[in-house]
Chain A
């Protein structure tokens, strides 16, 4: 058990990445326990997606090292890498009318060829898209499509999931369902999940650790209980309150009542 769990760790040392002459990641170092959920949070342009893409092996860092399960994903054979780690984020508009089922099966062609429909049905069920199974992907709404791509990642079944804003297009009910799914990926299946989330409350609900990024640097690495209004003020420059959830007793971030934005002509 420990052997299997150890392979899902994520470790990043002094990671630097540049794009167009700008330093996007400024020496990030972090460790994520195998079988845990970690949330990467921070303002727009902090480098959160870039961090995930560098961990996935898609972007090469200028310097520093990435280890997923002790290996560098970028140096693995693509099919080995796809069993170790996957990244799931916003995708371009689909060009062709594949069915939902075909799309999900593309996550793991080998499994689609060789095993029965049980795993496919479980993946469809996990994202509640069984009804959409035979619909074409081009006919779906962005929220439905997002769930299809998440189901494809579940069907791919790697040890480490890198989820880039997995709930952006979802309504409140599906937001909760996806958070539950993330928890059970880690809790029941021992997968490691690193997710970028904008909603701090969702992040605090599902993650054991929150990594606060700002301007390409890791500023805080805390548990949900350690999140304070000072941290939020430092990262986002807003005056938010951290209170206790009336039912669950967990910390909840209240949005600032805030300044109004400037409206031209006002």
Chain B
């Protein structure tokens, strides 16, 4: 059984890597300007330093610029953030013992929105240059997460149900503050709405670097808790008796997930459904063992956002649809399908 599952999940991982390769190829060549794959490969081979240097071939020059300054950071940011959402989603679902939990239960997305929206409305979106909005969004995300965490912690123990409920309450409170700000700052409503719908068009090498700095160590920390998370998914008391340091593991999982998510959301705005559906779907195929579920959710979460962003760019060129709209459009029906499927099979 164990080895069968290992072999199957290994194949699933390979399939995920193939999807990733296809997603990268498509993501680099498709868009408002379609680049032949050969030019993309050549541009990649020449490296970033040669991107602005004329070669005599106009198409190659264009490809170099588009690939290195626009599309490459964009597809990377899509994959990194999708991976973070996928892993954090699988962590939250395990921790809350509930396949309906998503990475935003701590209020990270509404907090990030609040930070960014205040920045836009108060016109302080440029005080620290391009870092301003991401910094404000990041601070908002962690601030709200800290408030929710604080509200559900008594002494040493954090109550998971209180956490879920105060997450919902604080998130809706924050949403109404955002709505209020939008009414006051009417002249900036477009900018605010665009930010809160989530988009990858603001991707840059800076944002790729910054989100990698959170995501890689974060995912490593989470993966080390996979076995403890397996035990926790049986309930906190059984996990305690199995020798899991329950409160310490919970704290690490919650805060590391919040950091990973905040690091992505700060640049792109909230992107829904990826962190909810991907772990759910992966679990149906790969089983509930978090040692596999987490990396696979990361891989397929990254792929999902990569392809969603691709769709966002090519569906209605030259206009771009916010990627959050795409993930909700594709994600909600898929989620309903999964729900219907599990009901039909009698769970």
A and B found bound together: yes
Closest A residue to B249 by beta carbon equals A78
Chain A, 79-131, CB within 8 A of any chain B CB:
79, 81-83, 86-88, 91-92, 94-99, 101-103, 106-107, 109
| A205 contacts B by Cβ under 8 Å | no
CB <8 Å contact, B243 and A58: no
Considering the chains assembled together, what is the distance between the CA atoms of A170 and B250 in angstroms?
A: 34
* Contact residues in B for A82 (Cβ distance below 8 Å): 241-243
CB <8 Å contact, A92 and B97: yes
Considering the chains assembled together, what is the distance between the CA atoms of A149 and B97 in angstroms?
A: 18
Q: Of the candidates A96, A106, A134, A138, which one forms a contact with B283 in the assembled complex, judged by CB atoms under 8 Å apart?
A: A96
Cβ contacts B225-263/A at 8 Å (1 or 0 each)? 001001101110110111111100000000000000000
Say whether chain A's binding surface is mostly helix, strand, loop, or mixed: mixed
* Contact residues in B for A58 (Cβ distance below 8 Å): 237, 240-241
Chain B, 278-314, CB within 8 A of any chain A CB:
283, 287-289
Chain A, interface size category, equals 20 to 34
CB <8 Å contact, B289 and A102: yes
Most interface-central of A81, A106, A138, A152 (chain B CB within 10 A): A106
| B99 contacts A by Cβ under 8 Å | yes
Considering the chains assembled together, what is the distance between the CA atoms of A99 and B287 in angstroms?
A: 9
- A97 and B288 contact, Cβ closer than 8 Å, known pairs A92-B97, A106-B230, A107-B242: yes
CB <8 Å contact, A96 and B233: yes
- Total A-B pairs in contact (CB under 8 Å)? 69
* Contact residues in B for A92 (Cβ distance below 8 Å): 97, 234-235
Q: Of the candidates B98, B227, B240, which one forms a contact with A109 in the assembled complex, judged by CB atoms under 8 Å apart?
A: B227
Cβ contacts A63-83/B at 8 Å (1 or 0 each)? 000000000000001110111
CB <8 Å contact, A101 and B2: yes
CB <8 Å contact, A86 and B99: no
Chain A, 120-160, CB within 8 A of any chain B CB:
133-134, 138, 149, 152, 156
Considering the chains assembled together, what is the distance between the CA atoms of A95 and B230 in angstroms?
A: 11
Considering the chains assembled together, what is the distance between the CA atoms of A156 and B230 in angstroms?
A: 15
* Contact residues in B for A78 (Cβ distance below 8 Å): 240, 243-246
Q: Of the candidates A79, A86, A96, A138, which one forms a contact with B241 in the assembled complex, judged by CB atoms under 8 Å apart?
A: A86
Considering the chains assembled together, what is the distance between the CA atoms of A251 and B240 in angstroms?
A: 38
Nearest CB on A from B28, distance (A): 37
* Contact residues in A for B2 (Cβ distance below 8 Å): 101-102
* Contact residues in A for B231 (Cβ distance below 8 Å): 106
Considering the chains assembled together, what is the distance between the CA atoms of A83 and B98 in angstroms?
A: 29
Closest B residue to A79 by beta carbon equals B243
Q: Of the candidates A86, A88, A106, A134, which one forms a contact with B1 in the assembled complex, judged by CB atoms under 8 Å apart?
A: A134
| B347 contacts A by Cβ under 8 Å | yes
Chain A, 145-183, CB within 8 A of any chain B CB:
149, 152, 156
Nearest CB on A from B83, distance (A): 21
* Contact residues in A for B289 (Cβ distance below 8 Å): 98, 102
* Contact residues in B for A79 (Cβ distance below 8 Å): 243
CB <8 Å contact, A95 and B233: yes
CB <8 Å contact, A98 and B241: no
CB <8 Å contact, A95 and B243: no
Most interface-central of B1, B235, B244, B288 (chain A CB within 10 A): B288
A-B CB proximity, top 4 nearest: A82-B243, A96-B288, A95-B97, A78-B245
Instruction: Please give the residue numbers on chain B whose beta carbons come within 8 Å of chain A beta carbons, in ascending order.
Output: 1-2, 94, 97-99, 227, 230-231, 233-235, 237-238, 240-246, 283, 287-289, 347
* A–B Cβ pairs within 8 angstroms, 20 of them: A56-B241, A77-B245, A78-B244, A78-B245, A79-B243, A82-B242, A82-B243, A86-B241, A86-B242, A91-B234, A91-B235, A92-B235, A96-B94, A96-B288, A99-B287, A106-B227, A134-B1, A149-B238, A156-B242, A156-B243
Instruction: Please give the residue numbers on chain A whose beta carbons come within 8 Å of chain B beta carbons, in ascending order.
Output: 56, 58, 77-79, 81-83, 86-88, 91-92, 94-99, 101-103, 106-107, 109, 133-134, 138, 149, 152, 156
